[in-house]
Structure 1
Amino acid sequence: MKPLSTLHTLRTDSPLGPITLAASATGLCGLWFDDQKHGPTEDQRQPWRPDKDHPVLQSAAVHLQAFWAGQALPWSGPLDLSVGTAFQQSVWRALLRIPAGESQSYGELARQLDKPLAVRAVGAAVGRNPVSILVPCHRVLGAGGQLTGYAGGLLRKQALLKLEGHPIGQLTPALFSE
């Protein structure tokens, strides 16, 4: 993760654990579960400012509440994905085109980006997505449609898919109950 400047942050609860939201002057640039892989370190968080009145953070928190209530609408607020490389940003923007309740494989995503041999690089970029849930990396599955990799943990990935009505989310018990 590239260094992040001073950001505005908001902590919010979710059915899947506490979440930190972060916004830059450009838009929403972070959404991490507390124990998520590839999240910001404590040192990176030091200059960040809690700001419960920040309009982008308030909008994201309201959007998440609607999401938890089963209203999986695409995020329409401003995004700042500048922490990633140009390739990572292209992958993250492609994730925004996967509708709720649907999924793509890492290979399909690589082909969509005209990088059919870059499946592993696509997977790495998906795993480093700084705005989980709203940039829906949980909608990417393995080649055979199996549940694979999620920086927030596979149980959370399954719970998010279940909430969106994806069939794989229904296969085994998940954290999110109806």
Structure 2
Amino acid sequence: MRWTVLDSPIGEFSVATDDARVCGAHFGRVAAAAEAPGDELSGRAVAELRAYFAGELTEFTVPVTVRRGSEFERAVWREMTRIPYGETMTYGAVAKAVGDQGAARAVGVACNRNPIPVIVPCHRIVGAGAKLVGFGGGLPRKVTLLELEARVALQRAWS
């Protein structure tokens, strides 16, 4: 696994790749992270993340693999990728979508364990009534990501 760090509007952000896929992401610097991408996939992942943070990319195309997680967590992470850019979904709605209507809290735990934040957009999941609750990267980062997506989505809809 190779970690690469980039500067972003939410601070340093590290992304991990293996031989073929993005396999991790982390808010902040991972000790093993390099300053510059060392292979084609790392470079592509960093380029897509930079484009995302610049408001130029609304859908990631880098291949992703998740190496851990329970069946439920993987179902939640798959559901996250289905939430459209610039939109949100509640923990309860995600629980219902993955087949366990009473598992809103478990969805929150799965969000916290998301191994590839931003690319797998756990920031798009909010509490009931669109309340901003919990985020592994901290609520200020979640707000920044949601504001970025809302602004870009509105600009695209009105242009």
Please classify the TM superposition score into its range, dividing by the shorter chain length: 0.7 to 0.9
Q: Structure 2: how far apart are the matches of 1:115 and 1:154?
A: 26
AA matched with 2:8: S
The size of the alignment, in residue pairs, is 150
Q: What letter corresponds to residue 111 of structure 1 in structure 2? A: K
Gaps in structure 1 of 5+ consecutive residues = 1-6, 36-41, 167-178
Percent identity of paired positions between Structure 1 and Structure 2: 37
1:103 pairs with 2:88 = yes
- Rounded to whole Å, the distance in 2 between the matches of 1:153 and 1:93 is 22
What is the root-mean-square deviation of aligned Cα atoms in Å? 1.9
1:28 counterpart = 2:22: yes
1:93 deviates by 1.0
Q: 1:49 to 1:132 in 2, by over 3 A?
A: closer
The normalised TM-score by structure 1 is: 0.78
> 1:96 & 1:77 partners in 2: Cα distance?
13
Which portions of structure 1, spanning 4 or more consecutive aligned residues, are displaced by more than 4 angstroms? 48-51
Q: Which residue of 2 aligns with 1:62?
A: 47
Partner of 1:119: 104
| 8 Å CA contact 1:8, 1:54 repeated in 2 | no
Are 1:154 and 2:139 counterparts? yes
Distance in 1 (CA, whole Å) between partners of 2:20 and 2:43 is 15
- The answer to whether the 8 Å contact 1:8/1:23 transfers is yes
Deviation at 1:26, TM superposition (A): 4.3
Provide closer, same or farther for how the CA distance between residues 26 and 121 of structure 1 changes in structure 2, counting only shifts above 3 A: farther
The TM-score, its normalising length taken from structure 2, stands at 0.86
